[in-house]
């Protein structure tokens, strides 16, 4: 039984390509492996070239696909446009986009570095929005396109001491769910993935282990959750990885806001 999102074999079309941001570490590496395993060429995007070159070599050898490495700082003002121009130049049939690159910051908002806040919003919000916008027409035209935006369990309640991060992820979830509705019936599959705390380079970048709130799953299990959702006939607008994380997300929406904030504050407070 073929999986519904596997690329259709059509000799008249080039191989499908998946663009994955944040492909030098963590979830992005696993997303690239899964798409390559499904026969997609991959476009690996992040700032660090060396780990992406190594991944490209691995994927080309293991799966016989072509892996393109595009070193790019997605907080640059013209990054989204440059990435689209690059895939056009390569002549790729982009049928999947995974907006995965993102980072968090831990600490009291009153003491946060304004420049870092701007970077965080630029990567987690602006780049996700503009890449979704610029790639959407092509993904829609593909007829079987996939758009995955990586949110977080932090999207389901405000995050004291990770206020900006939680707000950016609430935005990603909201944007993605709206796009899910707008594109219903077009053949495009849209999904917001909400991982719980997962051992990647994320905590190092965030400067704190305080982000480790909730059920921890290994990276491959989190990405499995995304692909299982994508393979469903009726992909949901968003999916939370981990049963206990799903229960917490639902509870956060049902409890009085003061209580949700008090619990969140106790878990992530300094
Ligand atoms: N790990 C968790 O606990 C967790 C939980 C929920 C959600 N998430 C979300 O999952 C996504 C992936 O994070 P991860 O856990 O895999 O963390 P990670 O291991 O730190 O990976 C982050 C990726 O984003 C890239 N990136 C960072 N800044 C960038 C920039 N300015 N331009 C381009 N690429 C950039 C990094 O590559 P370079 O440094 O090479 O640029 C790296 O490839 C993020 O959106 C994160 O918010 C993570």
Please give the domain boundaries of the chain with CATH numbers for all domains.
16-268 (3.40.50.720)
Torsion from C-alpha of 113, 22, 269, 199, nearest 10 degrees? -140
Ligand 1, atom 41, residue with closest C-alpha: 47
Report the C-alpha gap between 196 and 212 in whole angstroms: 8
Calculate mean pLDDT across residues 3-12: 58
Ligand 1 centroid to Cα of residue 98, in Å, is 12
Give me the active site residues, please: 165
CB 153 within 8 A of CB 102: no
Q: What is the pLDDT of residue 208?
A: 85
Ligand 1 centroid to Cα of residue 27, in Å, is 8
Burial group, residue 1, by CB count within 10 angstroms (0-12, 13-18, 19+): exposed
Residue 125 confidence (pLDDT) above 90: yes
Closest ligand 1 atom to residue 79 Cα is 32
Please report which confidence band the pLDDT of residue 7 belongs to, taking 50, 70 and 90 as the band edges.
Answer: low
CB 162 within 8 A of CB 154: yes
Q: What is the pLDDT of residue 2?
A: 43
Higher pLDDT, 158 or 9: 158
Q: Give which of 14, 136, 3, 141 is closest to 66, Cα–Cα.
A: 14
Cα dihedral across residues 27, 29, 31, 37: positive or negative: negative
| Secondary structure of residue 20 in the 3-state scheme | strand
Q: What is the pLDDT of residue 1?
A: 33
Residue 12 confidence (pLDDT) above 80: no
Q: What is the pLDDT of residue 47?
A: 98
Residue 3 confidence (pLDDT) above 90: no
Calculate mean pLDDT across residues 187-214: 92
- Does the CB atom of residue 31 touch ligand 1 within 6 A? no
Ligand 1 centroid to Cα of residue 166, in Å, is 14
CA 261 → CA 68, 70, 117, 257, distances in Å?
Answer: 43, 40, 22, 6
Q: What is the pLDDT of residue 171?
A: 98
Burial group, residue 227, by CB count within 10 angstroms (0-12, 13-18, 19+): buried
Residue 23 confidence (pLDDT) above 70: yes
Residue 9 confidence (pLDDT) above 60: no
Ligand 1 test: best mutation among 26, 120, 125, most atoms within 8 Å of CB? 26
Calculate the average pLDDT of the chain: 94
Could you read off the pLDDT of 74-98 as tens digits, one per residue? 999 999 999 999 999 999 999 999 9
Could you read off the pLDDT of 171-194 as tens digits, one per residue? 999 999 999 999 999 999 999 999
């Amino acid at each position: 039984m073929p999986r519904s999102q596997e690329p259709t074999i059509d000799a008249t079309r080039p191989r499908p390509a998946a663009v994955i941001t944040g492909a030098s570490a963590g979830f992005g590496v696993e997303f690239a492996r899964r798409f390559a395993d499904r026969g997609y060429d991959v476009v690996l995007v992040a700032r660090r070239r060396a780990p992406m070159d190594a991944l490209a070599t691995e994927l080309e050898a293991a799966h016989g696909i072509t892996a393109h490495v595009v070193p790019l700082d997605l907080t640059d003002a013209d990054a989204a446009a440059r990435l689209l121009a690059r895939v056009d130049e390569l002549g790729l049939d982009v049928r999947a986009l995974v907006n995965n690159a993102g980072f968090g910051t831990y600490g009291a908002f009153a003491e946060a570095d304004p420049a870092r806040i701007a970077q965080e919003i630029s990567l987690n919000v602006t780049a996700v929005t503009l890449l979704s916008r610029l790639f959407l027409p092509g993904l829609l035209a593909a007829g079987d396109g996939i758009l995955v935006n990586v949110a977080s369990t932090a999207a389901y309640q405000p995050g004291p001491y990770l206020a900006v991060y939680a707000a950016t992820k609430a935005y990603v979830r909201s944007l993605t769910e709206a796009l899910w509705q707008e594109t219903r019936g077009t053949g495009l599959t849209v999904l917001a993935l909400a991982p719980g705390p997962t051992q990647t380079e994320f905590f190092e970048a965030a400067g704190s282990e305080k982000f480790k709130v909730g059920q921890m799953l290994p990276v491959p299990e989190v990405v499995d959750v995304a692909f299982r959702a994508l393979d469903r006939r009726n992909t949901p607008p968003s999916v939370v990885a981990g049963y206990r994380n799903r229960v917490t997300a639902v509870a956060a929406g049902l409890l009085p806001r003061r209580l949700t904030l008090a619990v969140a504050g106790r878990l992530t407070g300094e």
